[in-house]
Amino acid sequence: MPTVSSCASRPINRKATRQRRQVPSLEKVLEFKAHEGEIEDLALGPDGKLVTVGRDLKASVWQKNQLVTQLHWQENGPTFSSTPYRYQACRFGQVPDQPAGLRLFTVQIPHKRLRQPPPCYLTAWDGSNFLPLRTKSCGHEVISCLNVSESGTFLGLGTVTGSVAIYIAFSLQCLYYVREAHGIVVTDVAFLPEKGRGPELLGSHETALFSVAVDSRCQLHLLPSRRSVPVWLLLLLCVGLIVVTILLLQSAFPGFL
C-alpha cells in the first residue's frame, strides 16, 4: 500500500508516502502507509488531524498514524451506479462567527472521463464528526483545485479547462465564475489574506482570488461587494406593506374595520 506525504514547504508526494516534519528544522517525525495509488490532496487541521484523498476513491482522516475515520460521500449524497466518483481536493476552513467551529470541504469528480461528463460536487463536512452537512453540484467542468479563504467565508475553485469560480462556504452558492480564465489546467488558487494589508488592498471588493495555471500565468479575480439592505429599511417596508393591505381591504370591504 502506497503512502502519503505531509511535509512543511513541500508539494504532495505522488508516491503517497505520508511524512510529517517539524518546522523550522524540517526533521521528519512520522511516516506511514495510507493509500493505494497516488495522493490527490491533503489538508492538515488545527487539532493535528490530517485528511488525505487519493485515486483509490478513499478519503481518510488520520490522527498521527492512526486512522480515525473515512469519509462516506457516495453513501450520503447523489448516487450514480454506473459512475464511480473520487475525491479530488480537500481543505479545512473556519466557521464565520464561530471561533471554535471547523468545516472540511471536499470536491468529488467522476473517476473516469466520459464523453458526456456527469457533474462534479462540492461538499461541506462537520469538522468534528466528519459527517456531511450539504452537497451541491459545481458544474460539469472537472475541478482541479480548491482553497478556502482565511475567515472560512469563501471557497475558490479551479478547473482542468482553465475556469475559475468563487463560492460562498455557508450555502455552497456560486458568486463568481469566469469560463476559461486560463488556457489550460488551473493548478492552484489562493485568497488574498484578510488581515494585515489585505483589507487595504481589497478596497471596495469583498474578496480577491489568485489563480495560477499550466499556461504560466497568474491572474487576480476580484469579487465586488454585495449590496445589502439595512434591517431598518426592511422593517419599514414591511410596516408599509401591512398599512397598504389594510387600506385596500377597508376600501373593498367598508365594514372590514
Structural domain boundaries of the chain?
A: 1-70, 84-226, 230-257
Confidence of residue 7 (pLDDT cuts 50, 70, 90): very low
Does domain 84-226 match CATH 2.130.10.10?
yes
Give the global pTM: 0.78
Is it the case that residue 14 has pLDDT exceeding 70?
A: no
Task: Compute CA 6 distance to the chain's CA centroid, rounded to the nearest angstrom.
Answer: 20
> Sheet holding 49-54: strands in order across?
39-44, 49-54, 59-63, 66-70
Task: State the chain's mean pLDDT as an integer.
Answer: 85
| Cα gap 129→3, rounded to integer Å | 24
Instruction: Give residue-wise pLDDT tens across range 39-90.
Output: 999 999 888 899 999 999 999 999 988 999 999 987 766 665 578 899 999 9
Confidence of residue 6 (pLDDT cuts 50, 70, 90): very low
Instruction: Give residue-wise pLDDT tens across range 206-227.
Output: 899 999 999 999 999 999 886 6
Q: With contact defined as beta carbons under 8 Å apart, do 37 and 2 qualify?
A: yes
Q: With contact defined as beta carbons under 8 Å apart, do 7 and 19 qualify?
A: yes
Q: Is 131 left (phi over 0), alpha (psi -120 to 50) or beta?
A: beta
| Cβ atoms < 10 Å from Cβ of 171 | 11
What is the DSSP pairing of strand 27-33 with strand 17-22? antiparallel
